[in-house]
A and B are shown apart, each in its own frame.
Chain A
Amino acid sequence: MNKNNNVYIVIYATVMIVIVAVLLSVAAMSLKGRQQANIAVEKQGAILNTIGLGGDADKVKDKTKYIQDEYAKYIIDSYVVNGLGDRVEGVDAFALLDMLKAEYAKPREEMRLPIFTAKLDDGTVLNILSVYGAGLWGPIWGYIALENDWDTIYGAVFAHQGETPGLGAEIATPHFADQFRGKTIMSDGEFVSIAVLKGVGASAGNDHAVDAVSGGTITSRGVETMLYDCLDAYLPFIEKQTAKPSVEIVPAAVATNVEENKIESYE
C-alpha cells in the first residue's frame, strides 16, 4: 500500500486523533474527582494555615481527612459580600474561590467576595479574606486573616502558580507570610493596605509594610498590588463592620490618591 497516498494520510490522522481524544477524555474524567478533591483540600489547608492551624498536615497519615476535620472544626461560617459592602445571599463562598479572577475584574456592585469566619479554641473570632493578583509568571493568590477589629492581620498565606523557585516563589513560604502578623491595614481610620518594601529591614517599625523577597521584585510588587486592590474591594464591607455612624466611606477616587502618594514616598 502506498503510505504517502493522501487518502491514507487523512484516514490515518483521523483514526489517530479519535483514539487519542477518547484516551485523554477517559483519563481526564476518571482522575477529575481526585484532582478536584486535592484542590479543595489544598484550599482548606491554606485557609487553616492563615489562622495558624493545620501545620501537622505533612506529619499525619491521612492528610486529606486531617485537613477536612480541622476545617470543619474551626471554620464556623462563610458568606459572600459584594464590592459595595452588602451581603450577597445564595452564593457558596468556597466555590467562589475558583472564580476570584473573574470576580475581581467585575465592577464593584457585581463583585462577589468570599469571607470565612473562624473561631479558635480560645474563642477568638477571625475573618479570613481571599486575595488574587498577578505575579511575574502567572497568578498569585492568598488569604488574609483579620482580627475582629477588621484591621490587624492575624495571619497570611500566599500561593502562586509558577513564580521562580527560590526567588518569587518564596512568597509562599512561612518566612515571608509571617511578617504580616500584627500589621494593620488602616492608618488613623484610612485604608493604607500593606506595602512590600525592598531592602532587608526596610519595613522595621512600620505597621503597614513588610520586607520584599530579594530577587523577587516583580512578584513582591505583585503581592503589594494584589493586597491593595483586593483589600480595597473588601473595604466597603470592612467599613460597615467598624463604622461608627459618623464615619464616611472613603470614595474610590480618594483611595487612588493614597496609592499614588504611597508610591512616591518609597523613592
Chain B
Amino acid sequence: MSKGVEEKEPMFSLKNMKLLWGPLNRNNPVIVQILGICSALAVTAKLKPAFVMAVSVTVVTAFSNLIMSCLRKGIPNRIRIIVQLVVIATLVILVDQVLKAYVYDVSKQLSVFVGLIITNCIIMGRVEAFALGNKPWPSFLDGIGNGLGYGLILIVVAIVRELFGSGTLWGYQIIPQWLYEQGYVNNSLMLLPPMALIIVGVIIWIHRSKNRDLIEK
C-alpha cells in the first residue's frame, strides 16, 4: 500500500470532499447504484419517519465504515463478512435502543424498519467496497456521504408522498381546507409502496437526463 503519500493529505482535501458529496449526486446509492430501495419504499409514506430513518442509516454507515476501516488489518479474511455483520448489527441495535429511549413516538412508527437497517445493502456494500481498503477518515466520510445520499432520496420521496397522499408535511396540514371543499382529494395511491417505486423511477429519469453519461447502453 502506498502509505507515505496519503498520510500527508489534508483532512478536507478535494478527494475527501468528493467522498462526502459524490453520493449525493453522481454516485447516489439509491438512484445510481439502486441500493437500499427496499427501505426507501417502506418508510417514506410520511416525512418524519423518513427523516429519522435517514439519520439512523447515516449514523450506521458512518460508524460501521469507521470501525471496519480501523479493524481492516486484523480481520481474518475468512470470517470477514461475519465480522461486518456483527459490527453493523451492533450499531443498529444501539441506534434502535437510543430511538426507543429518546424519540419513542417515531421509533414506534419505524417499528421493524430500524432493525432492518442491518440488511440495507448500502451499508454492507460500502464496508466491503470501501472501508476494508481505505483509511478510517476517508471511510468515515464515505459512510456519511452514502448515508446522506440515501437520506436525500428518502426525504424527497417522503415529501412527495406525504404532501399528495395525506395533504400534510411533518404532520402539519399543508393543502388548505378550501381546496378539499372544491373537490380535491388526497391520492391514497401515494401511500402505497408501489408509488414510492414510481417516484424513485421518476427521480432516476430526471437525474439521468441531466447526467447523460450515466445512461447505460
Contacts and interface: CB of A to CB of B under 8 A. Distances in A.
A255 interface: no
Given A17-B86, A23-B90, A28-B97, A215 B188 contact: yes
Interface in B140-191: 165-166, 188, 191
A16 B83 contact: yes
Interface string B74-97: 111111001100100010011001
Interface stretch (B15-23, B29-37, B104-112, B199-207): B104-112
A42 B104 contact: yes
Given A38-B100, A42-B104, A165-B45, A16 B86 contact: yes
Contacts of B77: 3-4
A39 to B, nearest CB: 8
Interface of A: 3-5, 8-9, 12-13, 16-17, 20, 23-24, 27-28, 31, 34-35, 38-39, 42, 138, 161-162, 165-167, 214-215
B79 A165 contact: no
Given A27-B97, A214-B188, 4 more contacts: A9-B76, A13-B79, A13-B82, A31-B100
Nearest to B112: A162
B74 A3 contact: yes
B155 to A, nearest CB: 16
B89 to A, nearest CB: 8
B191 A165 contact: yes
Nearest to A8: B76
Contacts of A4: 76-78
A162 B165 CA distance: 19
User: Interface of chain A, helix or strand or loop or mixed?
Assistant: helix
Contacts of A215: 188, 191-192
B76 to A, nearest CB: 5
A217 to B, nearest CB: 14
**Which 7 A-B pairs rank lowest in CB-CB distance, beginning with the nearest?**
A166-B191, A38-B104, A34-B101, A31-B101, A162-B111, A165-B45, A9-B76
B46 interface: yes
A5 B74 CA distance: 12
A27 B97 CA distance: 8
Interface string B20-58: 000000000000000000000000011001000000000
Nearest to A39: B104
A12 B76 contact: yes
Given A24-B90, A165-B109, A166-B192, A3 B75 contact: yes
Contacts of B86: 16-17, 20
Nearest to A5: B76
B192 to A, nearest CB: 7
Nearest to A33: B101
Contact of B94 (A3, A9, A24, A165): A24
A220 to B, nearest CB: 15
A166 B165 CA distance: 9
Contacts of A138: 111
B83 to A, nearest CB: 7
A14 B83 CA distance: 11
Contact of B79 (A12, A23, A166): A12
Nearest to B73: A3
A214 to B, nearest CB: 7
26 contacts: A3-B77, A9-B79, A12-B79, A12-B83, A13-B82, A13-B83, A16-B86, A17-B86, A20-B86, A24-B90, A27-B97, A28-B97, A31-B100, A35-B100, A35-B101, A35-B104, A138-B111, A162-B111, A162-B112, A165-B45, A166-B166, A167-B192, A214-B188, A215-B188, A215-B191, A215-B192
Nearest to A12: B76
Contacts of A5: 76
B98 interface: yes
Contacts of B94: 23-24, 27
Given A8-B76, A17-B86, A34 B102 contact: yes
A12 B75 contact: yes
Contact of B97 (A8, A31, A42, A167): A31
